């Protein structure tokens, strides 16, 4: 706060109200994020990695040297099958003569879409379930939490596969299937957090002022569980990426798109897993790095919600 | 005669024990057990009067206060606010009542939302009740901050609770409570978490605001000397029931109920020349599930008689406006 | 006879923003059978003094200077292992929250027996058990309940049990940290009564730490008023209450309501307690003191004896007789100060 603000005059009320009104909430949130990552080396590495993936995903068509789906031929018309890395094809080619580097770059898009949409949807469902269940309690809580228990009993991958088979193998269906299972862990954790927060006097104070349930839930409780939401959001990105890769690797993915999992699947069906390292390692490593980056970010958030982790450094 | 600001009659608040679905299913035929936190409490508070509720922890004083303004749903009994039945209000009627009655909590470190700036926290009630334009709200928030001694308001508006001291936080809580110009204030142990040296300034602030805004107030505290300083009348609670109600002077200097006597006698004093005798009762407040057909205090009472166990004694008027729930005073 | 002699004790907490001078040059002495009250607000350093004696400071706390001499031995120079012999045997602690004093998975008896046998290995189990029952009787608890688990006890009973376990080895010194703050008045009264009786029966001296001046004035022989890591006034109870020489003590006396007095005017001390991170030279109370003069801001007052056994840290201690009536007037504490002083200090701190 600046020193001039100390004198209170009527005109100043206006300026200040704009400053301290709702608009500053976003600024405060951003500042809080910066604060969280300050001095967190691993979290910063995670952010950097993620930024690289985002950049690649955004500009993949420009960065990719070839069309990822094009069967490349040599000058004499022969398909460039299983070529090892060379200056022309930095990561070599596939059995059908496609450029591996281009596929990895384009695959980044799918991974990011699945990761972000899948995580967003599952966290959205899970957060609301947890908020409503924890806040209202009673029968609402019983019903929602038993539903969560049922979802917990569902084996993740088989469920996704079955759902994709039923709904048809499209990218959106894969994302939907992931979200429909993944929300369970977020719901549980958010609920237990809501249970402690709703007992705080400031929540009762919000009700005492006449605040509606919706207001109490979304303007008073939600901001206080937000670090957990971010944490589970970050983890969900990782889980969604892995899930999509698994589904595609097993051959149930979207046949039209190029994803890292599907690259591994084609390499596997081409019997090239052991021979064409350049075809296997890049997509595998990419999955790894992306998942690691979001987990590193998640871990940083976890320190905020679980201060004990800070001591262990 | 004007209507009392708040009148509660045979107010009851029971909390069920073990209410989970599983235990309900497993024990479907068992009797539901209850903690009878408030078990038939009646009192009234006149406009601009200060009424105090005292008692040991677990006596139900806080529950009684919160139930009286329907922050907790009463199990039974009636509540009248300005003569209007409050018990079955809902929706918009309940919301407009919320404008009139406000609450201050014990712990200023827990009663402000850490994610709200001082400005947002104090302005929120105006937002909820949709009062005034943006400029009017701002003006009102600043005036209120000024009024509770947070000066200059501009220095506080953008602060978050984490940056403030206990006394400042309690003032922010008070600002939020009075920004709607309420007519009734419930203060639950308003000073017990504050440092001794600043307590007085917060208590005096309550007094001044009550005077200026014509507020009726219900102070809840375990600290009789605080209630003596703040209140016109005091009620003493024991195990969910009022055992004595009367003017402050009477309760402190002429207590009638053996429990009140013990309570008053056990307050330590800063007077090395004058040794008090101390409380004459032993034991502790029984478990809240405790049930008896007679006087609740009989087991600890130094003046217990056989008939104390025969039934719950009614309130007897021992002097003008001074009532005691003890058979000693049956005329 | 002096039992414990603390001299210019300094205990700091090392934090990111600098050293917190929680105890900054405190001298005290405790005689056999004496009860000394340390009175102060939260953050004044009163608890840190006790923690320094027993060396149970938080990890970032350290005794940086001064001595704590018990029975001819300077406790601050002992190694952790050597000090262990003194804890409980010679100096034992009655904690504020008895809930934390017991391990929930063992009975009270087992815990008392363990304490006794850990320090006196040649005691037989049967003897230790007998001692546990004796201790229970001592603190007015039913000896048959000694085999109960902590959760079977109410708050008041746990506090009694905590006193019992602190007395297990007949320590010459008892440290009681807010022993009754968490309790209701009637229980508090019972326990304070018991503590007073115990003193007559056993030969322990006690340091009672509390924010409640009424509790110390009823139980203690001497009072040390702690403010900002220093002892600002130190003498017998009667003098502290009736003839305070430090303005803070004068203010404290009027700061909270009394049940006995008639129409009382409460006076609050403006401002808030001082920051103890690398404090500057000068009296720490000067900002809040109605009688502060230039000298008070420039030079830290040193302890001086205004009468025999009456130590005050105030430049104007000699004028106490004249200042006292002034301090009882509300205007003195509010006049000529900016209106915002009552609440305004910390709002500016991050400017």
Radius of gyration of chain A measured on its C-alpha atoms: 24
B270-295 tens-digit pLDDT: 876 666 776 667 777 777 677 788 89
Please enumerate in sequence order all residues whose Cβ is within 8 A of that of A74, keeping only pairs 6 or more positions apart, or say none: A80
What does the alpha-carbon distance between residue B174 and residue B193 come to, in Å, rounded to a whole number? 15
- Name subunits touching C (3+ CB pairs < 8 A): A, B
Contact C99, C45 (CB under 8 A): no
What does the alpha-carbon distance between residue C39 and residue C219 come to, in Å, rounded to a whole number? 12
Largest pairwise CA distance in chain B: 68
* DSSP three-state, residue C30: strand
Mean pLDDT of B33-56: 92
Number of other residues whose CB lies within 10 A of the CB of residue B329: 18
Number of other residues whose CB lies within 10 A of the CB of residue C101: 19
Please enumerate in sequence order all residues whose Cβ is within 8 A of that of A266, keeping only pairs 6 or more positions apart, or say none: A94, A95
Mean pLDDT of A20-24: 47
A272: exposed, middle or buried (Cβ count in 10 Å: 0-12, 13-18, 19+) = middle
Q: Of B22, B79, B54, whose CA–CA distance to B225 is shortest? A: B54
Helix, strand, coil in percent for chain C, rounding step 5: 40, 25, 40
- What is the reported pLDDT for A304? 67
Query: What are the residues facing B221 on neighbouring strands?
Result: B54
Over chain C, what is the mean pLDDT?
Answer: 86
Mean pLDDT of C227-239: 93
- What is the reported pLDDT for B165? 86
Angle between helices A100-136 and A171-197 (to 10 degrees): 40
- What is the reported pLDDT for B18? 64
- Name subunits touching A (3+ CB pairs < 8 A): B, C
What does the alpha-carbon distance between residue A307 and residue B209 come to, in Å, rounded to a whole number? 41
Please enumerate in sequence order all residues whose Cβ is within 8 A of that of A271, keeping only pairs 6 or more positions apart, or say none: none
Chain length of chain A: 313
- What is the reported pLDDT for B212? 93
Higher pLDDT, B23 or B182: B182
Number of other residues whose CB lies within 10 A of the CB of residue A71: 13
**Tokens describing residue C12:** 């700091």
pLDDT class for C268, splitting at 50, 70, 90? confident
- What is the reported pLDDT for B174? 95
Mean pLDDT of C179-199: 82
**Tokens describing residue C184:** 């209701």
- What is the reported pLDDT for C343? 40
- What is the reported pLDDT for B171? 94
C102-137 tens-digit pLDDT: 888 899 999 999 989 988 888 899 999 999 999 898
**Tokens describing residue C251:** 């203010």
Give me the half-sphere count of Cα atoms (radius 13 Å) on the Cβ side of residue A230.
20
d(CA C351, nearest CA chain A) in Å: 5
pLDDT class for A265, splitting at 50, 70, 90? confident
**Within its chain, how far is the Cα of C179 from the centroid?**
10
| CATH number given to B6-55+63-240 | 3.40.50.300
Nearest CA in chain C to B228: C259
Q: Which residues of A touch B (CB under 8 A)?
A: 1, 5-8, 10, 12-14, 16-17, 19-22, 24-25, 28, 139, 142, 200-212, 215, 220, 223-224
pLDDT surpasses 70 at C349: no
B133-150 tens-digit pLDDT: 999 999 999 999 999 999
- What is the reported pLDDT for C29? 92
Q: Which residues does chain A have within 8 Å of residue C351's beta carbon, measured at their own beta carbons?
A: 1-3
- What is the reported pLDDT for C99? 67
Residue contact C343–B225, C-beta within 8 A: no
Give me the half-sphere count of Cα atoms (radius 13 Å) on the Cβ side of residue B186.
25
- What is the reported pLDDT for C346? 39
Question: What is the helix (H) or strand (E) element at residue B25, kind and residue range?
Answer: helix B21-26
pLDDT class for B125, splitting at 50, 70, 90? very high
- Give me the residue from A5, A21, A206 closest to B155, CB to CB: A5
- Distance of CA B275 to CAs B271, B272, B278, C193, Å? 7, 7, 9, 12
Q: How many Cβ contacts (< 8 angstroms) between chains A and B?
A: 109
- Alpha helices of chain A — where are they, by DSSP H? 10-20, 23-37, 41-63, 100-136, 138-152, 156-167, 171-197, 201-208, 213-215, 222-249, 260-269, 277-305, 308-311
- What is the reported pLDDT for B279? 65
C59-104 tens-digit pLDDT: 899 999 999 999 889 999 999 888 888 888 899 988 877 667 788 8
Over chain A, what is the mean pLDDT?
Answer: 82
Sheet with B50-54, edge to edge strand ranges: B101-104, B184-188, B216-221, B50-54, B233-238, B241-247, B322-324, B316-319
Mean pLDDT of C228-257: 91
Mean pLDDT of B245-253: 94
- What is the reported pLDDT for B26? 63
pLDDT surpasses 60 at C339: no
SS (H, E, C) C66-109: EEEEECCEEHHHCCHHHHHCCECCCEEEECCCHHHHCCCCCCHH
Nearest CA in chain C to A5: C351
Nearest CA in chain B to C236: B272
DSSP letter at B233 equals: E
- What is the reported pLDDT for A27? 66
B192-224 tens-digit pLDDT: 888 888 888 899 999 999 999 999 999 999 999
Contact C251, C292 (CB under 8 A): no
**Tokens describing residue C311:** 């130590």
Over chain B, what is the mean pLDDT?
Answer: 89
What domains sit in chain C, N to C, each tagged with a CATH number?
Answer: 1-90+171-351 (3.40.50.300), 100-170 (no CATH)
Q: Which residues does chain B have within 8 Å of residue A202's beta carbon, measured at their own beta carbons?
A: 110-113
Residue contact B199–C156, C-beta within 8 A: no
Question: What is the helix (H) or strand (E) element at residue B185, kind and residue range?
Answer: strand B184-188
pLDDT class for B248, splitting at 50, 70, 90? very high
Higher pLDDT, A200 or B22: A200
Q: Of C243, C258, C236, C210, whose CA–CA distance to C308 is shortest? A: C236
**Interface contact B95, partner A, CB < 8 A:** yes
C6-16 tens-digit pLDDT: 999 999 999 88
- Looking at chain C, the whole-number percentage of residues with pLDDT higher than 70 is 94
What does the alpha-carbon distance between residue A65 and residue A182 come to, in Å, rounded to a whole number? 36
Pairing type for strands B216-221 and B184-188 reads parallel
Say what the ipTM of the complex is: 0.84
Higher pLDDT, A25 or C109: C109
Chain length of chain C: 351
Higher pLDDT, A279 or B43: B43
Q: Which residues does chain B have within 8 Å of residue C350's beta carbon, measured at their own beta carbons?
A: 163
* Strand stretches in C148-244, DSSP E: 173-177, 205-210, 222-227, 230-236
**Tokens describing residue A244:** 């999509």
Residue contact C342–B201, C-beta within 8 A: yes
pLDDT class for C261, splitting at 50, 70, 90? confident
Nearest CA in chain B to C240: B272
> Cα torsion at A95, A101, A106, A112 (round to 10°)?
110
Q: Of C106, C96, C71, whose CA–CA distance to C85 is shortest? A: C71
pLDDT surpasses 70 at A15: no
- What is the reported pLDDT for A7? 36
What does the alpha-carbon distance between residue A56 and residue A50 come to, in Å, rounded to a whole number? 10
Q: Of B147, B157, B138, B120, whose CA–CA distance to B206 is shortest? A: B147
Q: Where are the domains of chain B?
A: 6-55+63-240
Angle between helices A41-63 and A23-37 (to 10 degrees): 110
Query: What are the residues facing C18 on neighbouring strands?
Result: C15
A29-41 tens-digit pLDDT: 677 777 777 778 8
- Give me the residue from B149, B195, B281 closest to C273, CB to CB: B195
Structure pTM?
Answer: 0.83
* DSSP three-state, residue B84: strand
Radius of gyration of chain C measured on its C-alpha atoms: 21
Angle between helices B118-128 and A10-20 (to 10 degrees): 90
Q: Of C34, C65, C32, whose CA–CA distance to C229 is shortest? A: C65
Mean pLDDT of A216-225: 91
| Cα angle: B198, vertex B202, B206; to 5 degrees | 165
Mean pLDDT of A286-300: 87
What does the alpha-carbon distance between residue C252 and residue C249 come to, in Å, rounded to a whole number? 5
Q: Which residues does chain C have within 8 Å of residue A3's beta carbon, measured at their own beta carbons?
A: 351
d(CA B264, nearest CA chain A) in Å: 30
- Give me the residue from C214, C218, C272 closest to B165, CB to CB: C272
d(CA B183, nearest CA chain A) in Å: 13
- What is the reported pLDDT for B289? 74
- What is the reported pLDDT for B25? 64
* DSSP three-state, residue B231: coil
Residue showing tokens 């470190």: B109
pLDDT class for B247, splitting at 50, 70, 90? very high
Mean pLDDT of B301-313: 89
Higher pLDDT, C252 or B280: C252
- What is the reported pLDDT for A248? 86
Mean pLDDT of B82-97: 89
| A183-194: b (≥16 Cβ within 10 Å) or e | bbbbbbbbbebb
- What is the reported pLDDT for B272? 67
> Cα torsion at A104, A108, A114, A119 (round to 10°)?
130
A120-170 tens-digit pLDDT: 999 999 999 999 999 998 889 999 999 999 999 988 888 888 888 898 888
């Amino acid at each position: 706060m600046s020193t001039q603000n100390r004198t209170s005059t009527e005109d100043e009320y206006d300026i200040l109200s704009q400053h301290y009104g709702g608009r500053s909430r976003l600024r405060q949130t951003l500042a809080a994020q910066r604060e969280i990552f300050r001095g967190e080396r691993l979290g910063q590495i995670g952010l950097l990695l993620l930024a690289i993936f985002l950049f690649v995903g955004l500009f993949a068509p420009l960065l990719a040297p070839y069309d990822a789906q094009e069967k490349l031929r040599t000058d004499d018309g022969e398909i460039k099958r299983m070529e090892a890395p060379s200056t022309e094809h930095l990561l070599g080619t596939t059995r059908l003569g496609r450029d591996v580097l281009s596929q990895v770059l384009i695959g980044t898009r799918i991974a990011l879409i699945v990761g972000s949409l899948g995580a967003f949807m599952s966290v959205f469902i899970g957060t609301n379930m947890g908020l409503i269940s924890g806040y209202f309690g009673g029968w609402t809580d019983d019903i929602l939490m038993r539903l969560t228990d049922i979802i917990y009993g569902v084996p993740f991958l088989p469920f996704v596969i079955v759902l994709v088979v039923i709904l048809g193998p499209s990218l959106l269906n894969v994302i939907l299937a992931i979200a429909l299972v993944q929300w369970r862990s977020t719901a549980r954790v958010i609920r237990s957090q809501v249970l402690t927060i709703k007992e705080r006097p400031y929540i009762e104070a919000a009700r005492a002022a006449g605040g509606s349930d919706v207001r109490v839930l979304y303007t008073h409780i939600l901001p206080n569980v937000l670090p957990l939401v971010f944490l589970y959001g970050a983890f969900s990105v990782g889980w969604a990426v892995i899930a999509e890769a698994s589904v595609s690797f097993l051959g149930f993915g979207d046949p039209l798109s190029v994803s890292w999992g599907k690259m591994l699947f084609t390499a596997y069906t081409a019997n090239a897993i052991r021979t064409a390292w350049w075809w296997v390692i890049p997509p595998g490593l990419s999955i790894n790095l992306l998942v690691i980056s979001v987990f590193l970010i998640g871990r940083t958030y976890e320190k905020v919600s679980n201060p004990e982790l800070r001591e262990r450094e | 005669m004007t209507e009392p600001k708040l009148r509660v009659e045979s107010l009851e608040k029971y909390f069920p024990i073990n209410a989970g679905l599983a235990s309900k299913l497993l024990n479907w035929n068992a009797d539901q057990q209850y903690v009878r936190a408030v078990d038939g409490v009646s009192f009234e508070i006149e406009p601009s009067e200060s009424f105090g509720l005292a008692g040991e922890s677990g006596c139900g004083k806080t529950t009684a206060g919160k139930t009286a303004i329907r922050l907790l749903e009463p199990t039974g009994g009636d509540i009248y606010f300005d003569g209007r039945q409050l018990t079955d209000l809902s929706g918009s009627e309940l919301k407009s009542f919320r404008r009139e009655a406000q609450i201050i909590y014990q712990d200023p470190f827990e009663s402000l939302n850490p994610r709200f700036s001082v400005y947002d926290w104090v302005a929120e009630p105006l937002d909820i009740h949709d009062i005034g334009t943006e400029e009017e709200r701002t003006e009102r928030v600043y005036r209120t901050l000024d009024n509770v001694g947070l000066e200059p308001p501009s220095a506080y508006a953008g602060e978050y609770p984490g940056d403030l001291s206990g006394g400042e936080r309690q003032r922010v809580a008070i600002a939020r409570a009075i920004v709607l110009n309420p007519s009734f204030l419930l203060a639950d142990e308003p000073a017990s978490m504050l440092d001794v040296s600043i307590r007085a300034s917060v208590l005096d602030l309550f007094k001044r605001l009550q005077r200026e805004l014509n507020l009726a107030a219900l102070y809840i505290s375990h600290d009789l000397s605080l209630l003596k300083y703040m209140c016109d009348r005091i009620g003493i609670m024991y195990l969910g029931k009022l055992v004595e109600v009367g003017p402050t002077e009477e309760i402190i200097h002429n207590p009638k109920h053996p429990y009140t006597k013990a309570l008053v006698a056990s307050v330590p004093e800063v007077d090395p020349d004058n040794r008090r005798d101390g409380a004459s009762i032993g034991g502790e407040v029984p478990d809240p599930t405790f049930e008896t057909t007679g006087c609740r205090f009989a087991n600890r009472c130094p003046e217990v008689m056989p008939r104390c166990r025969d039934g719950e004694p009614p309130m007897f008027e021992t002097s003008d406006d001074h009532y005691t729930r003890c058979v000693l005073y049956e005329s | 006879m002096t039992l414990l002699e603390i001299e210019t004790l300094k205990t700091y907490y090392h934090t990111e923003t600098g050293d917190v001078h929680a105890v900054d040059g405190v001298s005290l002495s405790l005689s056999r059978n004496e009860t000394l009250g340390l009175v102060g607000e939260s953050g004044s350093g009163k608890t840190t003094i006790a923690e320094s004696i027993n060396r149970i400071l938080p990890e970032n706390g350290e005794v940086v200077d001064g001595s704590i001499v018990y029975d001819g031995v300077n406790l601050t120079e002992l190694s952790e292992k050597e000090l262990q012999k003194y804890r409980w045997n010679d100096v034992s602690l009655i904690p504020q929250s008895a809930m934390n004093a017991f391990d929930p998975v063992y009975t009270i008896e087992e815990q008392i027996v363990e304490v006794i046998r850990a320090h006196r290995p040649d005691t037989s189990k049967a003897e230790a058990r007998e001692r546990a029952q004796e201790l229970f009787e001592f603190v007015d608890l039913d000896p048959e309940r000694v085999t109960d688990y902590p959760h079977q006890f109410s708050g008041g009973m746990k506090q009694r049990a905590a006193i019992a376990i602190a007395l297990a080895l007949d320590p010459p010194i008892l440290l009681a940290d807010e022993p009754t703050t968490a309790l209701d008045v009637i229980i508090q009264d019972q326990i304070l009564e018991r503590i007073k009786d115990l003193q007559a029966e056993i030969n322990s001296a006690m340091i009672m730490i509390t924010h409640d001046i009424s509790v110390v004035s009823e139980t203690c022989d001497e009072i040390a008023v702690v403010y900002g890591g220093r002892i600002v006034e130190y003498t017998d109870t009667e003098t502290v209450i009736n003839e305070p020489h430090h303005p803070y003590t004068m203010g404290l006396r009027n700061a909270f309501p009394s049940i006995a007095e008639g129409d009382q005017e409460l006076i609050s001390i403006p401002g808030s307690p001082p920051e103890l991170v690398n404090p500057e030279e000068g009296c720490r109370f000067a900002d809040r003191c109605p009688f502060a003069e230039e000298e008070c801001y420039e030079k830290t007052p040193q302890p001086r004896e205004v009468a025999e056994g009456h130590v005050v840290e105030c430049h104007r201690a000699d004028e106490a007789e004249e200042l006292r009536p002034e301090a009882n007037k509300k205007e003195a504490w509010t006049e000529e100060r900016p209106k915002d002083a009552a609440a305004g200090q910390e709002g500016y701190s991050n400017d």
